[in-house]
Amino acid sequence: MKVKVKFYGRFRKLFGSEEKEIEAESGTTARSLVETLCVSQECRDNLFDEQGRPRRCVEILKKGKEKVQFADDEHVKLEDGDVVSIFPAWGI
């Protein structure tokens, strides 16, 4: 299946792109997709805290509206054609 990931603000520079189209296996979760995209320690440090949760300054949305909560990741499976957006949280 194909999933598009869009990056906003400082994450464009961090990931080196405005968006990427990823070929993922059926049943891939939002968490596993984002972890796969974080190939450098700098990227992981910018997105995740020490417990592996997204930092408060990071918003990750599925389909532009469903906030991804990694604690409930088993419920955030991606589907073919989904768009995942990663952007700085407003006001932080």
Series of mean pLDDT values for 10-residue runs along the chain (92 residues) = 93 92 90 87 89 82 70 71 87 45
pLDDT score recorded for residue 75: 61
Return the domain boundaries, the chain.
Answer: 2-88
DSSP-based helix, strand, coil % in the chain, nearest 5: 30, 30, 40
pLDDT score recorded for residue 80: 94
| pTM given for the model | 0.81
CATH class of the region 2-88: alpha beta
Burial of 13 (0-12, 13-18, 19+ CB in 10 A): exposed
